[in-house]
Copies of this chain bind each other. A is one copy, B any other.
Amino acid sequence: MYVRVLKQLKASGKTVISSNSLGKLLQITPAQIRKDLSYFGKFGKQGRGYNIEYLLAALNKILGIDQEWKACLVGVGRLGRAIINYPGFSPHGFEIVACFDIDKSRINEPIAGMSIQPLGQIKNLVKSNNIKIGIVSVPADQTQGVVDLLVAAGVKGILNYAPISPVVETDIIVRTIDPVTSMQSMTYYLKGY
């Protein structure tokens, strides 16, 4: 979220930002910002605010987003196709280089410069392409099986669009995209209104 907001500030032509203003954009306190950033070093001088370009470059490096990351996608249905064709990943260094589906009628179908592959190809292609991230857009009942295949093949991060939370070992990082969960995380604060 820091990176997202700092990029936005940079694009708007700003060069310096106070922890107060940054806090307002991130909906957190200035104290929390200082605490968050202090884990990684010293990024601002008392009373001068943060240099946006410098902080952004530092965070990009810390977070590992100053490099290219290869991803694959499993489940080339309606949602999967939308994700594959989403133009926002590649400018941020994320490239979907392989996609897989369980449906035999889809195998070898061309999409975005790739061709859809069977699940049996996950192991080969993850290894040969050094893919570290798997995007999962399959139905609930297929999620755990697909995640297990990806992890066995060497994937370390899962971006999960499925409506089920898979069980994984602690060294595997899962991020869930679920608009219902996002909605539900707001209503606690809206109850009084």
Contacts and interface: CB of A to CB of B under 8 A. Distances in A.
Contacts of A190: 64, 69, 132-133, 156-157, 173
A94 B83 CA distance: 24
B69 A183 contact: yes
Contact of A94 (B71, B82, B94, B183): B183
Given A8-B165, A167-B25, A187 B1 contact: no
Interface stretch (A49-57, A110-118, A145-153, A174-182): A174-182
22 contacts: A1-B165, A1-B176, A3-B181, A4-B165, A8-B164, A8-B165, A25-B165, A27-B168, A27-B170, A63-B185, A64-B190, A65-B187, A82-B82, A83-B179, A86-B179, A88-B180, A92-B184, A94-B180, A133-B186, A159-B186, A177-B179, A177-B182
Contacts of A82: 82
A79 to B, nearest CB: 8
A24 B168 CA distance: 8
A1 B182 CA distance: 9
Contact of A188 (B64, B180, B182): B64
Interface residues of A, number: 53
A62 interface: yes
B175 A185 contact: yes
